[in-house]
Structures are given as structure tokens and as C-alpha cells.
């Protein structure tokens, strides 16, 4: 028998995104983020390590998810993002809502 904690007690949920994340990908990414947030983990991590392009609409979606996570008492972490993706997210002010891997500005 395998015992798992209820979803609301899970420690960390990781959402791995990859490829060219154009505006057309927003509905699918939104569903993945909603499922991750619904689990109510202590930490929701979005891994951007294999993302080649991060459209402005997708960046806005990540910002909204980070704001929701913060209001819900979760930590929101962006991991393995490229410098270009980090700059785009920084322009939106996401660093105030999330734990980024490093400071974006010196």
C-alpha cells in the first residue's frame, strides 16, 4: 500500500515548459498552471530550462500565476530561465512576486 499526502500538503509541484512558447500556447500553459496551483503546494516551480521563446502573453500569464500563488500563501519559483526570459519577466516586475534564481539587476 502506498500512502501519499493529500494534494494540499504536497511540498513542491514542478511544471516544466519547453519549446517556443508563443501566444497560441497560452490556453495549454494556463491549464497546466491551474492544475499546479490547485494542488496547493508549498512551492510551485516553473522550469523554463528548455524554453526557446517566451511570448509576452505567456510572461503575463506567469505574472498572474505568481500573484495568485503569493495571495494563496505559496512560493512561486522560476528555474533555469535564460537571461532573455529573465529580462522579459523582470520588465513585468515579477521579481517582487517570486523567488528568482538570481538577482536580475546588480
Among residues 39, 100, 106, which one has the least CA distance to residue 66?
Answer: 100
Q: The pTM is what?
A: 0.81
Instruction: Give pLDDT tens digits along the chain (106 positions).
Output: 444 445 555 688 999 999 999 999 999 999 999 999 998 889 999 999 999 999 999 999 999 999 999 999 999 999 999 988 888 888 888 887 877 554 444 4
CA distance 102 to 86: 10
What is residue 1's three-state secondary structure?
coil
CA distance 13 to 95: 20
CA distances from 84 to 26, 76, 87 (A): 19, 19, 5
Amino acid at each position: 500500500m502506498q500512502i501519499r499526502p493529500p494534494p494540499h500538503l504536497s511540498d513542491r509541484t514542478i511544471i516544466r515548459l519547453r519549446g517556443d512558447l508563443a501566444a497560441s500556447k497560452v490556453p495549454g500553459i494556463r491549464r497546466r498552471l491551474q492544475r499546479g496551483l490547485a494542488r496547493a503546494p508549498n512551492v510551485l516551480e516553473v522550469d523554463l530550462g528548455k524554453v526557446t521563446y517566451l511570448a509576452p502573453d505567456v510572461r503575463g500569464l506567469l505574472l498572474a500565476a505568481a500573484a495568485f500563488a503569493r495571495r494563496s500563501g505559496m512560493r512561486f519559483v522560476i528555474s533555469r530561465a535564460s537571461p532573455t526570459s529573465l529580462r522579459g519577466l523582470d520588465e513585468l516586475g515579477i521579481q517582487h512576486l517570486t523567488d528568482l534564481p538570481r538577482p536580475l539587476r546588480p
